[in-house]
Amino acid sequence: MIVDHIRNRALYYGLGEDFKKALDYFATVSDAEFEKCNIEIPGTDIVIKCRPMMTKSLSECSFEAHKSHADIHFVAYGRERIGYTDTSKCKEISYDPKSDASALEGTGDLVTLERGYFMITLPDDAHMPCVYVDGPEKLGKMIAKISLERK
């Protein structure tokens, strides 16, 4: 797991061209509210899921992980806490190969992300997004899906 502000994105360009392109895209995002949509970055396999939502209580959220891709969670507006733990400390409840999503049970730590911050999660990183900080609030969340499969 990596957590940082988008102004420091160049530190992570070494992770690969897809990470660079997604992080550079996030650097152009304003804090204006947006509608639910998916954005494809031309010339790549990157899909950015734009998800306006309300944050929820910890008890309403659950851990997930992915086996063949990384996520870059970016906060365009609002703030959230994201649960984090290693997948080895969780029990897999289900796996959907079509969406590459494992539902997990476990406990972990909470990291707060505010406007302009991102979190990169890799296959060993169980994450629980959308947990509220002080109570439910509007969250403008974007998630880049980065394939880790060799082409």
Q: What is the pLDDT of residue 149?
A: 83
- Give the predicted TM-score (pTM) of the model: 0.95
Tell me the percentage of the chain whose pLDDT exceeds 90. Answer: 95
Question: In terms of Cα–Cα distance, which of 64, 79, 70, 67 is closest to 117?
Answer: 79
- Residue 78 structure tokens: 């609002």
Residue 150 pLDDT level (bands cut at 50, 70, 90):
low
The domain in which residue 11 lies consists of 2-147
Domain count across the chain? 1
pLDDT, tens only, 64-117: 999 999 999 999 999 999 999 999 999 999 999 999 999 999 999 999 999 999
Give the C-alpha separation, 72 to 60, whole Å. Answer: 22
- Give just the sign of the alpha carbon dihedral 131, 134, 135, 141: negative
**Residue 99 CB: number of other CB atoms within 10 A?**
10
Look up the CATH number of the domain holding residue 45.
2.60.120.370
Exposure of 3 by Cβ count < 10 A (0-12 exposed, 13-18 middle, 19+ buried)? middle
Q: Are 121 and 113 in contact (CB under 8 A)?
A: no
Q: What confidence tens digit (pLDDT) does each residue in 5-56 have?
A: 999 999 999 999 999 999 999 999 999 999 999 999 998 989 999 999 999 9
